[in-house]
Structure 1
């Protein structure tokens, strides 16, 4: 016989027990915030615990490595966090200047040395460098190349193989650059930086579907673009995401500086706790982590004076409880029209057909790592039921 206050009874009556522990498996539910707070303090009071793993290279059954790092976020304390972020994560002026120079040189090369049929009308700098969320030594760049010759996505799609082959032929003549590979949409290159490291750069040939400055775009213009996308096949829709990069850049770039710092910390956690290339697995993208962080910060009230460690705690809690994620924005479209088929989602604010959660195929692994990390000594003295301030 099921007792009245059993886990099963509580899960079947969420309206009576609205408070949920984001860490327990199965989830525990509580009728009042004070009851959940008491549970959190008793069960998850931070304790000194053995570090994550030995930081020698460790291969899991899924093929994911935990790389050795002398500057791991798993070894810092709450009191040292701001210093750690400033020294290890935040790009300094010299780093930014150096990276900007080599990326600008590549853009100039494409503008002046590409053959006429591949000549750009404009190059948009995306990725973490373009959005202002770059992590020192671990930054990535997306260069969206709007081509003069092409006027439609369909025309670009039909010629994409020849376009990519032509780009590779030209790029192979540039010094300090190595063409790594291509996929169906981009040429991937490694670019040597004056700061002593290598950038991974995706060069994506596209059509300028927006046609004007993001700040001048009318709602009706964007509505027409999304209507056109809705009538396209899924394979053609994929070409629009990069073409809408100016909207993505504008969305992320506009958040306060401290939110960008938190984004860098979350991305650093991902980049140092997982090998970037898992071969058989796809981790959450940097863009997804940016959006989760922004969404959680907004849901917490959007204060610009939040505590960085508390913010980190709550973003990790959201990642650990990923099945409850529901983030969408009405900046460019009405999300209600596009989220009905998803049980959980983080929608691209620039592309209503892109649930950014979907490409990740190892959420169970990511959830496990986040839950483990929540027990690290970094969170000593923090209450899980506390807010961000």
Structure 2
């Protein structure tokens, strides 16, 4: 590899600059080769994004052969102490960066945990650990090989393990083994932990070393590439220590490792991921410490009362909260005063042009895991993480206004075509947009589109014309526009991303030409009836006509159907959409899932028939929607707010629609649009996810008192809507 940054040597072992390590571990005296003392002072935040992976391999990853030699040296110390009957070592575990296999090249930390039979309970460790450390120190210093490398600092006993190019400052910890024979902790273990801590007034996390074996197991399951990302984050952190000339709390290093694991778990879960996307995701999480609440339920959960009370106390404590996955009392992210410094540095790196060259900015990860959010915290989850704030909504409005002004005033100014009206649709207009997920639909009703047929044959040329005009006007409007290449020969929609100096982020747009089927009297029942009759006749006469093909013409009705609903119901829709996105991300390869609009309608239906009140329980509503998804094979859902069974032609058409293969979910604005789709989409995959989610903490009030769904019928009939329909021969009704 050539030298691609000044001062970097492809032949040397470049890694962590010595200053941060010296400040964190002042007793370290590493015996390094001369070229390794001249480590690169290049800040990682200045490394081009496309070079980050090369940077990790060249400068951060330790040599495998060096680690083998370190292992041999540590094993020799372990064997020496295990053979001493006075210490009575029953088992040994390796912890710290060394045990988690996240060692940086050069200097790193580690622990050698000695589970001793002399400690029968947690309290013994508190009372007698110093005495046992004295004995261990004597044993090591009596050995010629170790007497110069052992150092005692108050209650710490450290051994320097060094070979050329690599050094581990190994902390020796005699501890109580709470797991005994079993490898998996029971609720009783954590009950004993809490009781013992109360008795001896131990600090939170003081006995976390007793669970080192579980920490090892927790990190073993993650791929090597994720540990490369951890090395990059740790290296950045250590460089900051040098920059600040202060020593930060040791748990923060572990907190950053856990936060990196969390980012990958929630946003990626693939072994071959983009390092730049990963680091951007971690930095974005670090930049919002007052929202961070990260924890796992691998070793403990909400079932036991003692553990549950402790967990709920932790979850309600000031953020950031990053719980040790092996010790529920140990919030390793609690040093909130230090996080503000980290947050500022993280934002600075995020804003750097070098990192912004990444194609994909970051993974879709929230600062708190959804699956294990307790039921009574769901409303706060929606408010904190899903509901957009006013700043975000104003950014969307600004972006929409820019495009609408262009379409009205500029796009067709040199032709006879008139823009009859522009309707804002999509989640932004409905009031169900998700936080930091900017998208907007703009429907342009053109005078030249005077029928469904004309829309079918001519819309692609208008899409191309809008794109052409938008490209020509970019400089005049000071826009940065990135167009999405359509896979269709005749695209029906113009999809693009807008970037502007007035926006803090980009906004994704869909611009759709449309025929003004409802005219200017969209609220008039007669106008709607005529529009629907033409639509259904066209649908019946053409085999190639797909249901919902012209639903864009009824965007106003779609928008109004959702927009007029209570605020809390819109919050539930946001929750369902977030759940859907998580399910979608898990599908590898990407599956053809039902449209999100189907889930929105199903949420409205669940609320209408199960609650109907503004003050409903969010967990119950969420549970009900999942229950309907699970029972998708029976679903038949429709509304009669815009069309109904009164007129003969529409009655016959609707009866045909609702006798189709289930699930049937009719668009309340377009009777031809069955967003349930029968076999068209992979409802079975969504139903499988819904079943798995029934074990989520979202649906647990108490261990033996799960959240129950509302009683909602899965099949809606004309009779349930008040229509007097007599049985159809050979039909369902």
Give the TM-score range, shorter chain.
0.7 to 0.9
What secondary structure is seen at the aligned counterpart in 2 of 1:201? strand
- Structure showing greater radius of gyration is 2
Match of 2:497 in 1: 190
SS of the residue 1:176 aligns to: strand
TM-fit CA distance, 1:208: 0.5
Mapping 1:134-145, distance limit 5 Å? 134-145=433-444
Deviation at residue 165 of structure 1 after TM alignment: 1.7
- The one-character-per-residue Cα deviations of 1:91-133 (angstroms, maximum 9, x if unpaired) are 1112111111111111111111213355422111000011111
In the other structure, the counterpart of 2:562 is: 252
Distance 1:56 1:323, change over 3 A: same
Q: Does 1:166 align with 2:475?
A: no
Asked whether the 8 Å contact 2:387–2:574 carries over to 1, the reply is: yes
CA apart distance, 1:195: 5.4
1:149 offset after TM fit, Å?
2.3
Aligned residues: 330
TM-score, normalised on structure 1? 0.77
Shift of 1:258: 0.9
- Per-residue deviation, 1:278: 7.1
Deviation of 1:176 after TM superposition, in Å, equals 2.4
* 1:98-109 pair list within 5 angstroms: 98-109=395-406
Partner residue, 2:445: 146
1:69 to 359, 365, 377: 365
CA distance in 2, matches of 1:288, 1:197: 28
What CA deviation, in whole Å up to 9, does each residue of 1:40-86 have, x standing for no partner?
xxxxxxxxxx99x94362369xxxxxx66243422422232222211
Q: CA RMSD in A?
A: 2.8
SS of 1:274's equivalent in the other structure is: helix
Of the structure 1 ranges 156-165 and 301-310, higher mean CA displacement relative to structure 2 is found in 156-165
Deviations 1:308-357 (CA, angstroms, capped at 9, x unpaired): 11111111111122222221001111264331223321110011111112
Q: Which residue of the other structure, out of 683, 686, 706, is the alignment partner of 1:363?
A: 683
Contact 2:620 2:708 in 1 (8 A): no
Task: Give the 3 Å change call, closer, same or farther, for CA 127–264 of structure 1 in structure 2.
Answer: same
Say which SS state the counterpart of residue 585 (structure 2) adopts. Answer: coil
Query: Structure 1 residues 107 and 157 mapped into 2: Cα distance closer, same or farther (>3 Å)?
Result: same
CA distance 1:240–1:55, change in 2 (3 Å): closer
Query: 2:661 & 2:583 partners in 1: Cα distance?
Result: 28
Task: Tell me by how many angstroms 1:361 deviates.
Answer: 2.1
2:591 corresponds to 1:281: yes
Q: Which whole-Å CA distance do the structure 2 matches of 1:387 and 1:55 have between them?
A: 30
Q: Please name the residue that 1:323 is paired with.
A: 633
What residue in structure 2 maps to residue 346 of structure 1? 665
1:236-258 per-residue CA deviation (whole Å, 9 max, x = no partner) reads 86552100111111111121111
What SS is found at the alignment partner of 1:135?
Answer: coil
> What does 1:210-249 correspond to in 2, within 5 Å?
210-214=518-522, 216-218=523-525, 220-232=526-538, 233=542, 234-235=544-545, 238-249=548-559
Query: Deviations 1:189-208 (Å, cap 9, x if unpaired)?
Result: 11237553333211111111
Other structure's SS at 2:550 match: helix
Residue of structure 2 in register with 1:57 after alignment: 268
Counterpart Cα distance in 2 of 1:245 and 1:212: 14
Q: Which position in structure 2 is the counterpart of 1:23?
A: none
Give TM-score, length-normalised by structure 2: 0.42
Cα distance in 2 for partners of 1:347, 1:378 equals: 29
DSSP 3-state at the match of 1:191:
strand
* 1:92 equivalent in alignment to 2:389: yes
The match for 1:37 is none
Conserved in 1, the CA contact under 8 Å of 2:455 and 2:515? yes
Give, in angstroms, the shift of residue 301 of structure 1. Answer: 3.6
Where structure 2 has 5 or more consecutive residues not aligned to the other structure, the ranges are 1-217, 219-261, 272-362, 646-653, 712-733
Cα–Cα, structure 1 residues 148 and 113, in superposed 2: closer, same or farther, change >3 Å?
same
Q: Deviations over 1:219-265 (max 9, x none)?
A: x2222212111221353865521001111111111211111110011
1:122–1:236 Cα change, 3 Å: farther
1:383 and 2:689 correspond:
no
Where does the alignment leave 5 or more consecutive residues of structure 1 unmatched?
1-49, 61-66
Whole-Å Cα distance in 1 between the matches of residues 588 and 536 of structure 2?
33
After superposition, residues 31-50 of structure 1 pair within 5 angstroms as none
Q: Distance in 2 between matches of 1:117 and 1:281?
A: 44
* 1:372/1:237 CA distance change after superposition, 3 Å: closer
- SS of the equivalent of 2:266 reads coil
Which residue in 1 is equivalent to 2:6? none
Q: Distance in 2 between matches of 1:163 and 1:81?
A: 44
Structure 2 partner of 1:201? 509
Tell me which moved more, 255-264 or 108-117: 108-117
Does the CA contact (< 8 Å) of 1:172 and 1:179 recur in 2? no
Offset of 1:139 from its aligned partner?
Answer: 4.0
